[in-house]
Amino acid sequence: MEMIDFESVCRLFPERKADSHKGHFGRLLCIAGSMRMPGAACMAVFGALRCGVGLLTTATAERNVPILASACWESMYLPLHTDTEGFITWAENESILTEAIRKADAVLVGCGLGQTQETALLVQRVIAITEGTLILDADGLNIASSCIDIIHERKAPVILTPHPGEMARLLGTDTKTVQQSRPEALQTLCRMLPQAAITLKGHHTIVGQGERMYMNPTGNPGMSRGGSGDVLAGMIASFAAQGLTPLDAVTAGVYLHGMAGDIAARRMSQAAMLPRDLIACIPEVFRSVEENR
């Protein structure tokens, strides 16, 4: 296992050319949020936008759109039909989502989505029809754990971002077993899904694809709260949409996410820092990247 280092991460981000336009930096579709969890979509979107993606569309429950649009002006929005509980359905949104997926370079699905029969069908169909890089996070992972063969059948790139509980569900084991042997758990899933780039989140997050494995040295316990993972998913998805390979997108994502968390902890303290503070520190992270590449 190798350690991720700052210099290698910096080399992943070439200087932006003077004649660049938004189309040069990728199109990302984020399918996220339910009426109960609009914040998850918001944090993923802000994480993605702060990491340089050119065009971002947020597909979310229609009742979330005014909330998100008032906070995040830079995203485009795709209001989606929901059931009576506020969870996105597939049947009523199939045509509009299929068209949006077709246009995207990368698709992030799962943050705050919820787990119902309809969201399960949605995730399964998104996995099947996405031709760009697919990023599965949170409820997207939990749903995929019951139909992992669909991921096997994908020919296009896929990224998985499980925490230990989600990793346990993907492997059909328990969280304690995963935590007792984190590298072995990651290796097992990498061998099951050799086409996938995978990060097992937690203390010293580890990343792998095939036989390659890396450990992340950045981050701190102040990041251990709801929302930090949504920010990370958005960051990784942003990098994938901009053309980084799945493994490079995950490696850069976990390192820079932890770096932003370390800056936030120094400013706010580990106890008081919030995921929104982490997002606010991403510009300082990229200033360091641009100065050191």
* Domains, in order of start, for the chain: 2-11+23-286 (3.40.1190.20)
Q: What mean pLDDT comes out for the span 179-207?
A: 96
Q: What is the DSSP string of the chain?
A: -EEP-HHHHHTTSPPPPTT--GGGG-EEEEE---TT-HHHHHHHHHHHHTTT-SEEEEEEEGGGHHHHHHH-SSSEEEEE-B-TTSPBPSGGGHHHHHHHHHH-SEEEE-TT---SHHHHHHHHHHHHH--SEEEE-THHHHHHTT-THHHHT--S-EEE---HHHHHHHHTS-HHHHHHTHHHHHHHHHHHSTTEEEEE-STT-EEEETTEEEE-----GGG-STTHHHHHHHHHHHHHHTT--HHHHHHHHHHHHHHHHHHHHHHH-TTT--HHHHHHHHHHHHHHHHHH-
CA distance 26 to 154: 21
pLDDT for 221 equals 97
pLDDT at 235 exceeding the cut of 90? yes
pLDDT for 247 equals 98
Q: How confident is the model at residue 74 (pLDDT cuts 50, 70, 90)?
A: very high
pLDDT for 291 equals 94
Q: What mean pLDDT comes out for the span 228-238?
A: 98
Q: What mean pLDDT comes out for the span 233-252?
A: 98
Q: What mean pLDDT comes out for the span 270-276?
A: 98
Q: What mean pLDDT comes out for the span 19-36?
A: 96
Whole-number average pLDDT of the chain = 97
> Which pTM value belongs to this model?
0.98
Looking at the chain, the whole-number percentage of residues with pLDDT higher than 70 is 100
pLDDT for 77 equals 98
Q: How confident is the model at residue 147 (pLDDT cuts 50, 70, 90)?
A: confident
pLDDT for 293 equals 82
pLDDT for 151 equals 92
Q: How confident is the model at residue 155 (pLDDT cuts 50, 70, 90)?
A: confident
Looking at the chain, the whole-number percentage of residues with pLDDT higher than 90 is 97
